[in-house]
Amino acid sequence: MTKKTANPDILITEIIKGIEEVKGQNITLLDLREIENTVCDYFIICDGTSNTQVSAISGSIQKSVSKKLKEKPWHIEGESNAEWILMDYVNVVVNIFQKSTREYYNLEELWGDAKITNFTEVK
């Protein structure tokens, strides 16, 4: 049985709104569709300045997506220490890091063949 998921473009827009709502930083979208054997179609990566902000970003994303699309993440990892929270929306996976943890794992380099889009903060 497969889970029906929302339109990825709308889902990505709502996730990014959720991140921006609580001042998440360095938002990056990795398009993995052209890469073989990937676990999803897109990664969204961002960072926060503390475990409190990382948790707030996760909560804001869930609120934004639930309100607009009536969707919940299929699975969430890392909420207990909030150094790296992974939110799995099936074809879109969100990685919310504390800055030092993001630098250590460097997912952008790991998935270097992906098409990368960086979002700048709108002030």
**pLDDT for position 2:** 47
Cβ pair 69, 81 in contact under 8 A: no
**pLDDT for position 123:** 46
Domains in the chain: boundaries = 8-109
**pLDDT for position 12:** 96
**pLDDT for position 70:** 93
For the record, the structure tokens of 43 come out as: 């990664």
**pLDDT for position 112:** 86
The set of residues, in sequence order, having a beta carbon less than 8 Å from that of 76 and lying 6+ positions away, is 58, 85, 86, 87, 88
The class that CATH gives domain 8-109 is alpha beta
Cβ pair 50, 36 in contact under 8 A: no
Can you tell me which residue has the tokens 């504390």? 98
For the record, the structure tokens of 70 come out as: 């009536």
Distance CA 104, CA 117 (A): 20
Give 10-residue mean pLDDT values along the chain (123 residues). Answer: 69 96 96 91 96 97 95 94 95 96 93 89 52
First to last CA, the chain: 43
